[in-house]
């Protein structure tokens, strides 16, 4: 699981930061999932190493323009390229009507299937490897956060140990790899768990924006490996954050701390904290780290490889 930030500004783009969009690459299945799609997201795709042809799912948090104005353009380009098989889009009420109106008035016709799913709190997608849960956030309009959970996998199967036990190869190996208890033809009972390494704990990420501090974000972020959380304002501007129902750097850090997250990646920064101003983005990072030390500040095209739990003791540097 690899996270790539396509846009880390709030409201409007800046010279260095585009508006909201985050890609999640699932290399084991050659898929890309996108979270929000602000204006210019397709251009950010082209500037990255990711392949639009692998895009299969898009998750929209809410209907504000800096999170959806790039969606129609991206979908149209995917159709013209002709190399997307299908895209499922998940989002709040009104998203389907928005896309239908944009398609109708722009005379855009897609050459591939698009399915829009109106989300409600709970599990909105699940397969053999992943589940996606959505939960309510606290913003000026209906907004949802998302939690992606990779399912636990059986540990590595020890083929040499199986051979040493003279277990015949074939379908029985598959059963043992899944940790099942198998009775062999000679009467021996073999527990597959004895032939497998430690269970590989599935990775979990949460994506929470736009929102003021709320229980919904804490619930989505419980014990995640990575929490991606908005930090629009500095702590000194908390009154403005409450008025606009956005988070400060300290709110993002408190969410991560309360939820027991392992790492916090902050995003969605107000342009007011540009270099040279009385408060800069580096100050927001210091504020967050005072509460939750394992915090990083995202920037456009930053990538982060989500490690497995057994790897968390090893360094996991952010790409520069």
Catalytic residue positions, numbered: 66
Contact residues for 129 (Cβ-Cβ < 8 A; gap 6+):
28, 29, 150, 151
Name the CA dihedral angle for 243, 249, 253, 259, rounded to a multiple of 10 degrees: 40
Q: Residues of 70-104 as b/e, b for ≥16 C-beta within 10 angstroms? A: bbbbbbbebbeeeebeebbbbbbeebeebbeebbe
Q: Give 267's Cβ-side CA count (13 Å radius).
A: 31
Is residue 284 within 8 A of residue 10, CB to CB? The reply is no
> Strands (DSSP E) along the chain, which ranges?
2-7, 21-26, 31-35, 55-59, 87-91, 114-118, 122-126, 130-136, 144-150, 181-183, 189-191, 204-208, 226-230, 264-267, 295-297, 303-305
Residues facing 130 on adjacent strands: 150
**50 within 8 A of 79, measured Cβ to Cβ:** no
Q: What is the CA radius of gyration of the chain?
A: 22
268: left (phi over 0), alpha (psi -120 to 50) or beta: left
- Could you count the other beta carbons within 10 Å of the beta carbon of residue 282? 11
């Amino acid at each position: 699981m690899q996270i790539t930030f396509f846009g880390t500004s709030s409201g409007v783009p800046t010279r260095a930061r585009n508006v909201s969009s985050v890609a999640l690459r699932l290399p084991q299945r050659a898929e890309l999932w996108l979270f929000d799609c602000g204006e210019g997201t397709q251009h950010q795709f082209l500037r990255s190493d990711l392949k639009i042809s692998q895009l299969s799912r898009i998750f929209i948090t809410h209907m504000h323009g800096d999170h959806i104005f790039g969606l129609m353009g991206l979908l149209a380009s995917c159709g013209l390229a002709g190399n997307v098989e299908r895209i499922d889009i998940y989002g709040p009420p009104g998203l389907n009507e928005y896309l239908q109106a944009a398609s109708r008035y722009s005379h855009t016709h897609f050459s591939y299937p698009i399915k829009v799913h109106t989300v409600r709190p709970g599990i909105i997608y699940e397969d053999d490897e992943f589940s996606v849960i959505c939960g309510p956030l606290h913003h000026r309009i209906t907004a949802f956060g998302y939690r992606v959970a990779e399912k636990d996998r059986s540990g590595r199967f020890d083929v040499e140990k199986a051979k040493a036990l003279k277990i015949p190869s074939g379908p029985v190996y598959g059963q043992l790899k899944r940790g099942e208890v198998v009775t062999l033809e000679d009467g021996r009972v073999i527990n597959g768990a004895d032939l497998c390494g430690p269970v590989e704990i599935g990775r979990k990420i949460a994506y929470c924006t736009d929102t003021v501090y709320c229980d919904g974000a804490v619930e989505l972020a419980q014990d995640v490996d990575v929490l991606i959380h908005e930090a629009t304002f500095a702590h000194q501007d908390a009154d403005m954050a409450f008025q606009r129902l956005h988070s400060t750097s300290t709110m993002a850090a408190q969410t991560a701390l309360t939820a027991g997250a392992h790492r916090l990646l902050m995003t969605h920064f107000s342009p007011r904290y540009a270099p040279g101003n009385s408060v800069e983005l580096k100050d927001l990072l210091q504020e967050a780290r005072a509460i939750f030390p394992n915090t990083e500040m995202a920037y456009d095209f930053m990538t982060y490889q989500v490690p497995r739990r057994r790897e968390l003791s090893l360094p996991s540097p952010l790409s520069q």
